[in-house]
Amino acid sequence: MAEPRFLVVRNDEEQYSIWSADRDLPAGWHDTGFAGSREECLAHVDEVWTDMRPRSVREALS
């Protein structure tokens, strides 16, 4: 059986997560365009989510 596919997704606070590719994405979350196995997606998040502060916090500080 094929390995389940996941998407790397992000909300408006620019917090990342992963989501099964064959399930409807909950409102307020957006596909970042990266898809792969669970491990590949988590490794991708490790790479791209460099500032874990929510966007509102980041903007308030700058």
Partner 1 sequence: MSTSQEWTFPASYAQERVWMANQLDAGSPVFNVSFPWLFPAGVDADTASDVVNRVVARHEALRTHLRTDDGALVQVVRAHDPAPLPVTDVTHLPAGEQRAEFERIRGEMARLPVPLDAAPLWRARLIRMEEGLALAFVVHHAVFDSHSAVLFHTELLAFCEAARTGAEPAVPELPVQYADFAVWQRQQLTGEELDRQLAFWTGHLAGAPPVTGLPLDRPRPAQLGFAGDEVRFRLPDGLLDRVGALATGAQATPYMVLLAGFAALLSRISGDADVVVGVSTAGRDSPELTPLIGMFVNPVALRCDVSGDPTFAALLGRVRNGLIDAMEHGQTPFQKIVEAVDPQRDPSVQPIFQTALNWIPDSGLDPVELGTTKDDLAFDITTGDCRLVYRTDLFDRATAETVVDRYVRLLAAAVAGPERTVGALPLLTDAERDRVLGAWNDTACDVPVTTVVDEVQRQAAATPDAAALVCDGVTLGYGELNTAANRLARLLVARGAGPETRVALALPRSCDLVVAMLAVLKAGAAYVPVDTAYPAGRIAYLLEDAAPALVVTTPDTAALVPGDALVLDGEVGSDQSGDDLTDADRVAPLRPEHPAYVLYTSGSTGRPKGVVVEHRAVTAYLAWARATYPGLAGVALLHSPVSFDLTVTGLLGTLTAGGTVRLAGIDDPAARAGGRPAFLKVTPSHLPLLDGELSPTADLVIGGEALAGEQLAAWRAAHPDVAVINEYGPTEATVGCVAARIAPGEPVPAGPVPIGTPTWNTRALLLDAALRPVPPGVVGELYVTGTQLARGYHDRPGLTAERFLPCPYGPPGARMYATGDLARWRADGALDYLGRRDDQVKVRGIRIELGEVEAALLAHPDVRAAAAAVRTEGGEPTLVGYLVGPAHEDSVRAELARELPAHLVPAALVRLDALPLTPNGKLDRAALPAPAAAEPEQDSYVAPRTDAEGLVAEVYAEILQVEKVGALDDFFALGGNSLRGMRAMARIRAEVDVDLPMRALFGSPVVADLAAQIEQRIAAELDGLSDTEVAALLAAEEGTN
Report the interface residues with partner 1, using CB under 8 A: 1, 8-9, 11-13, 15-19, 23-29, 38, 41-43, 45-46, 48-50, 52-54, 56-57, 60-61
Minimum Å gap between C-beta 49 and partner 1 is 4
DSSP 39: H
Pairwise CA distance, residues 24 & 18, whole Å: 12
Count Cα atoms within 13 angstroms, Cβ side, for 58: 10
Minimum Å gap between C-beta 44 and partner 1 is 8
Compute the chain's Rg from CA coordinates.
13
Minimum Å gap between C-beta 1 and partner 1 is 6
